[in-house]
Homo-oligomer: A and B are copies of this chain.
Amino acid sequence: MWQPPKALSLVAGHGEGGSELNAFDRALRDAGVADLNFLRVTSIVPPGARIIELPAYPAGILMPAVFARIASTRPGDVITAALGVGLSREHHGVIMEYAGHEGRAEAERTAKQMVVEGFAMRGLQLDEVFVVAAEHRVERAGSAVAVALFWPEAAGLERASRPARDVPPKGAGGRPR
């Protein structure tokens, strides 16, 4: 608490379950992060923080993270969860959460636009935007999530002997602007 995270990992996933919460659990598993104790955070990228590939972690640790999350029990419903992550080389950045009953292309567009507005409001230069998103078509109970995990060190949990490589967000929809 009261410290700036030094790295972020961006993941997304989707899935079906017997309830909305089980579907959420399945979506987290699809994203590779089902076995963490998440604390929901809003939503600043500290100055100098980097985006890294999901590192190894022990099950059950307390993990601050930004979430976009949606669930639905309406068969045929198309749902998407998206995070827009805006970075500024010299300053802090902004993460925007968006989730809606719509496809991925539209949700990604919205999340990106929200980031652009967040930077404009702050008068910061937007050097790079990543969008991570997952879309799901509901069968019975479905969920989609996009998550930015916040790490205490530049390489994840451990102070690295040498820095981790910078990587684009994993899986769903990472792209330079």
User: A37 and B58: CB pair below 8 A?
Assistant: no
Docked complex: A83-128 residues within 8 A CB-CB of B: 91-92, 94, 96-98, 110, 113-114, 117-118, 121-122
The complex places the Cα of A113 from the Cα of B19 at a distance, in Å, of 10
Q: List A residues at the B interface (Cβ < 8 Å).
A: 1-5, 17-19, 21-22, 25-26, 29, 34-47, 49, 58-64, 91-92, 94, 96-98, 110, 113-114, 117-118, 121-122, 150-152, 157
Nearest CB of chain B from residue A129's CB, rounded to whole Å? 15
Given contacts A17-B121, A34-B122, A46-B60, 20 further A-B contacts (CB under 8 A): A1-B64, A3-B61, A4-B60, A5-B37, A18-B113, A19-B117, A25-B118, A25-B121, A29-B122, A35-B92, A37-B42, A37-B46, A39-B64, A41-B62, A44-B59, A46-B59, A46-B61, A47-B60, A59-B91, A59-B92
Chief secondary structure at chain A's binding surface = mixed
The complex places the Cα of A94 from the Cα of B42 at a distance, in Å, of 24
Nearest CB of chain B from residue A16's CB, rounded to whole Å? 10
Copies of this chain assembled into the complex: 3
Contacts of A121 in B (CB 8 A): 17, 22, 25-26, 29, 34
For A97, give the chain B residue with the smallest CB separation: B21
The complex places the Cα of A41 from the Cα of B38 at a distance, in Å, of 5
